[in-house]
Amino acid sequence: MPDLPSAARVVIIGGGISGCSVAYHLAELGWTDIVLLERKQLTSGTTWHAAGLVGQLQSTQNRTRLAKYSADLYMRLEAETGLATGFRQCGSMTVALSTERREEILRLAGMARAFGVEVHELTPSEVGAMHPHLNLDGVVAGVHLPKDGQADPGNVALALAKGARMRGARIVENVKVSTVTTAGGRVTGVDWQSGEESGHIAAEHVVNCGGMWGRDLAARNGVTVPLHACEHFYIVTETIPELQRLPVLRVPEECAYFKEDAGKILLGAFEPVAKPWGMDGIREDFCFDQLPEDFDHFEPILEKAIHRMPMLAEAGIHTFFNGPESFTPDDRYYLGEAPELRGYWVAAGYNSIGIASSGGAGMALARWMTDGAPPFDLWEVDVRRAQPFQKNRRYLRERVSETLGLLYADHFPYRQMASSRGIRRSPLHEHLKARGAVFGEVAGWERANWFADAGQPAEYRYTWGRANWFDNQRAEHMALREGVGLLDMTSFGKIRVEGRDALAVLQTLCANDMDVAAGRIVYTQMLNARGGIESDLTVTRLSETAFLLVVPGATLQRDLNWLRRHLGDAAAVVTDVSSGEAVLPLMGPKARDLMALVSPDDFSNGAFPFGTAREIEIGMGLARAHRVSYVGELGWELYVPTEQAAHVFETLVEAGTEVGLRLCGLHAMDSCRIERAFRHFGHDITDEDHVLEAGLGFAVRTGKGDFIGRDAILKVRETGLSRRLMQFRLTDPEALLYHGEPILRDGKVVGHVTSGNYGHALGGAIGLGYVPCSPGETGAEMLASTYAIDIAGRLCPADASLAPLYDPRSERVKL
């Protein structure tokens, strides 16, 4: 009979590195009554066969921050626990074989450096000096991270487990969780089995660290954790006598990584088309299992690797390894509390970088569970980004066969997934496609990003330079600025909040005043207690007791979750009505002229002012027109019952010929919104960003009474801001900004670009980003500095502004 309590504060399911790290960090934060249950033996799923690379260079700042934490933790873990982890700070090197890849690694290096990661750029001959066995054919550059390392993954997990046990956590093997029990939308504990024995542990929290079992385990409780295992291949050579100690080497363009360990080379592959595994479930007795080798599948990578490191041709292969690892639809892992079930936490789906990620992820989750909020913005890995449909196994199988290879593929800006597409489509999809739309995907939605001209291939050609759609974007952008453009934003999340207490609920959750007349639209944020932004939305009062909330499609699950969790026993219901209406923004100074051609209603400023919504006739149908704009121009967002969308679209397009209507895509919408300095949730504004630092004080009404975040606003009003969101325009019209580029103030790195695009009306790349300031420092003082943005090592001078560079007085929306 396993030695298990009948109650615990938290039960962690899964004894891989993820579960051990969560247990370690919760114990470190003083949690008692921690129980970790492992179905077989610790590390016996995926951890034991991981390659053990601890690389800090991740594709975003916050994942880099977490990976840096892992590297620092593993450095000290052996001394703390007395258990050897095999961690060696051998450094790592990534080489580029093309100028495009060079741009990518130098951009990443600049970003990582801004976060305190030591990183050096290398010329080809410096690459050769650092790795003398390397064939330098085609190598154009490299980056070296001396503090990267490698470790024995199993031992790191065991050391974390020991550290957790030393602080009182109970870690028990050979106990399987058969059910996570629930009541009233909350976790109540777990039922367990061990051989013939079974029992129950009552618990406030459960953490799903189930790795490749994570999806199925979650699905049993209706929780969405979309991940799927893929086969991951590597070989280990026999001992190579002349081999010296080497840094980890990544040659992403040849899909390969090389790790020197004890005189042998481990060569691993991230091939472009991977082999999903475990489609019909995973064998009950799976424990330290390997999968059958597939030499034909590995051979193309091996051939290139032999060319790159010719000594491999002579080295015998000691081990040909194939083992399953979990992959997710967007190559990002899942952390946080599941929106479906209170007390159900997730740390899973590590996409083959679980050793590098788990240390930091365990720390972040433990702090999240302790404080009820993540330690910093973790939206990119937040489990609430998962869409319910992504549980579908066929979707996952097809998608992960692509995402494994994407780990080492070029991470070009605007790169789109090729697999598992077309799942969520607007009713106008075929209309847009027939007119040249090139689609991108967000949250499963297909969205027209740009429109190809007649005869132009309707496809992306990826680059770090000017894209093949740059001129299309410019034409669409200028149509929105000078004429009239029609967009399709059906992917917006639409939420109805209604009932006797709907107003009271929204007054508590929103920073702006919701007590407005029916037909008014209010731009607002939902804040957390720190004044950070949980949601960025418009709220339209439909009647005394009904409100329509419009949110980005990508944040719908998060926003629904935030609303529902704060309902308490209020007499209000929250309903996702996203599928009921298509959204057609008609924007530009000629929008009123076009509306007059398709509708008998009055669209004058007097009759239809900015910030109002009303039902209108359009063609032979009805729509609700909202006078708002995310591009900063006169216009209306038309909310049309889904089944009337095609009719309204056809009516607008037909009449539009008279006023030069142009179909516009999301790329033009984004370039317009960044010129106008409209913030984008998840980039410019997150739960870490105080609403006043974000420059959104104009949408805050502290005088209306209490609401979540009010105290934090009053406090900052008293103490002053410690940073401010600024807008930048590069003075070189050729340079391009995407995201993550370091910002320099008077020659010193002070922040990074939170979002970037090209300002076609302003004539240069535009970026937003936070700049620290001292309390009391005036805007004029901030603007007296000189600013530059580091783009892959080149310093590009930038004009900085606190007010929007385009239409600073917001006159155009009120034309």
| Contact region with ligand NCCCC(=O)O (CB under 6 A), list: 48-56, 369-377, 496-504, 550-558 | 48-56
Q: Position 348: which residue type? A: A
CA distance 363 to 21: 7
Closest contact distance (angstroms) between CB of 775 and ligand NCCCC(=O)O is 41
Closest contact distance (angstroms) between CB of 772 and ligand NCCCC(=O)O is 32
**Which residues within the stretch 750-789 sit at the binding site for ligand NCCCC(=O)O (CB under 6 A)?**
none
* Residue 468: strand, helix, or coil: coil
Nearer to ligand NCCCC(=O)O, 26 or 134 (CB): 134
Q: Is 352 a binder of ligand NCCCC(=O)O (CB under 6 A)? A: yes
CA distance 69 to 355: 12
DSSP assignment of 285-321 equals T-SS------HHHHHHHHHHHHHHSGGGGTSPEEEEE
Closest contact distance (angstroms) between CB of 412 and ligand NCCCC(=O)O is 18
Q: Position 569: which residue type? A: D
CA dist 73 → 85, 114, 149, 160, 260 (Å):
11, 20, 11, 10, 22
Nearer to ligand NCCCC(=O)O, 352 or 651 (CB): 352
| Contact region with ligand NCCCC(=O)O (CB under 6 A), list: 49-57, 336-344, 366-374, 770-778 | 49-57
Could you tell me if 528 and 543 are in contact, meaning their C-beta atoms sit under 8 angstroms apart? no
Closest contact distance (angstroms) between CB of 280 and ligand NCCCC(=O)O is 25
C-alpha 657 chain-centroid distance: 39
Nearer to ligand NCCCC(=O)O, 247 or 268 (CB): 268
Closest contact distance (angstroms) between CB of 621 and ligand NCCCC(=O)O is 54
Could you tell me if 239 and 42 are in contact, meaning their C-beta atoms sit under 8 angstroms apart? no
| Contact region with ligand NCCCC(=O)O (CB under 6 A), list: 50-58, 171-179, 416-424, 448-456 | 50-58
* Residue 636: strand, helix, or coil: strand
Would the CA dihedral through 680, 684, 690, 691 be positive or negative?
Answer: negative
Nearer to ligand NCCCC(=O)O, 45 or 635 (CB): 45
CA distance 289 to 138: 39
* Binding residue (CB under 6 A) for ligand NCCCC(=O)O from 50, 267, 503, 798: 50
Q: Is 267 a binder of ligand NCCCC(=O)O (CB under 6 A)? A: no
Closest contact distance (angstroms) between CB of 125 and ligand NCCCC(=O)O is 24
CA dist 622 → 634, 654, 674 (Å):
21, 17, 32
What is the C-alpha R_g of the chain?
Answer: 27
* Binding residue (CB under 6 A) for ligand NCCCC(=O)O from 257, 630, 636, 678: 257
Closest contact distance (angstroms) between CB of 132 and ligand NCCCC(=O)O is 21
DSSP assignment of 197-233 equals EEEEEEEEEEEE--GGGHHHHHHTTT-----EEEEEE
Question: How many Cα atoms are found within 13 Å in the side-chain-facing hemisphere of 710?
Answer: 15
Q: Among 534, 530, 569, 529, which residue's Cα sits nearest to residue 549? A: 534
* Binding residue (CB under 6 A) for ligand NCCCC(=O)O from 17, 51, 668, 692: 51
The 10 Å Cβ neighbour count of residue 699 is 17
DSSP assignment of 381-440 equals GBGGG--GGGG-HHHHHHHHHHHHHHTTS---TT----SS--SB--TTHHHHHHTTEEEE
Closest contact distance (angstroms) between CB of 259 and ligand NCCCC(=O)O is 9
Residue whose Cβ sits closest to ligand NCCCC(=O)O: 53
Q: Are strands 521-527 and 581-587 parallel, antiparallel or unpaired?
A: unpaired
Nearer to ligand NCCCC(=O)O, 122 or 652 (CB): 122
Could you tell me if 367 and 300 are in contact, meaning their C-beta atoms sit under 8 angstroms apart? no
Tokens found for residue 753: 């670009």
Q: Is 276 a binder of ligand NCCCC(=O)O (CB under 6 A)? A: no
| Contact region with ligand NCCCC(=O)O (CB under 6 A), list: 45-53, 414-422, 494-502, 584-592 | 45-53
**Angle, vertex CA 536, rays to CA 532 and CA 538, nearest 5:** 140
Closest contact distance (angstroms) between CB of 146 and ligand NCCCC(=O)O is 16
**Which residues within the stretch 184-243 sit at the binding site for ligand NCCCC(=O)O (CB under 6 A)?**
none
Closest contact distance (angstroms) between CB of 216 and ligand NCCCC(=O)O is 23
| Contact region with ligand NCCCC(=O)O (CB under 6 A), list: 47-55, 273-281, 618-626, 627-635 | 47-55
Q: Is 327 a binder of ligand NCCCC(=O)O (CB under 6 A)? A: no
C-alpha 113 chain-centroid distance: 21
Nearer to ligand NCCCC(=O)O, 53 or 652 (CB): 53
Closest contact distance (angstroms) between CB of 92 and ligand NCCCC(=O)O is 8
Owner of token pair 């993954």: 153
CA distance 265 to 274: 22
CA distance 35 to 44: 18
How big is the site for ligand NCCCC(=O)O, counted in residues (CB under 6 A)? 10
* Binding residue (CB under 6 A) for ligand NCCCC(=O)O from 45, 247, 268, 804: 268
| Contact region with ligand NCCCC(=O)O (CB under 6 A), list: 103-111, 352-360, 375-383, 411-419 | 352-360
CA distance 256 to 602: 63
**Which residues within the stretch 354-383 sit at the binding site for ligand NCCCC(=O)O (CB under 6 A)?**
356
CA distance 28 to 79: 16
Closest contact distance (angstroms) between CB of 324 and ligand NCCCC(=O)O is 12
* Binding residue (CB under 6 A) for ligand NCCCC(=O)O from 35, 53, 156, 369: 53
733-738: long-range contacts (C-beta < 8 A, 24 or more apart)? 733/763, 733/764, 733/765, 735/764, 735/765, 735/789, 735/791, 735/794, 735/796, 736/464, 736/465, 736/466, 736/765, 736/791, 737/765, 737/766, 737/767, 737/789, 737/791, 738/413
Q: What per-residue string of b and e applies to 451-461 under the rule 16 or more CB within 10 Å gives b?
A: bbeeeeeeebe
Nearer to ligand NCCCC(=O)O, 50 or 696 (CB): 50
Nearer to ligand NCCCC(=O)O, 268 or 656 (CB): 268
CA distance 604 to 767: 34
Q: Among 446, 230, 447, which residue's Cα sits nearest to residue 331? A: 230
Q: How far separated are the first and last CA of the chain, in Å rounded?
A: 76
Q: Is 250 a binder of ligand NCCCC(=O)O (CB under 6 A)? A: yes
* Binding residue (CB under 6 A) for ligand NCCCC(=O)O from 353, 381, 503, 514: 353
Task: Build a one-symbol-per-residue string for 392-411: x at contacts with ligand NCCCC(=O)O by CB under 6 A, - elsewhere.
Answer: --------------------
Nearer to ligand NCCCC(=O)O, 51 or 737 (CB): 51
| Contact region with ligand NCCCC(=O)O (CB under 6 A), list: 312-320, 350-358, 518-526, 561-569 | 350-358
| Contact region with ligand NCCCC(=O)O (CB under 6 A), list: 46-54, 61-69, 625-633, 704-712 | 46-54
Q: Which residues bind ligand NCCCC(=O)O (CB under 6 A)?
A: 50-51, 53, 55, 250, 257, 268, 352-353, 356
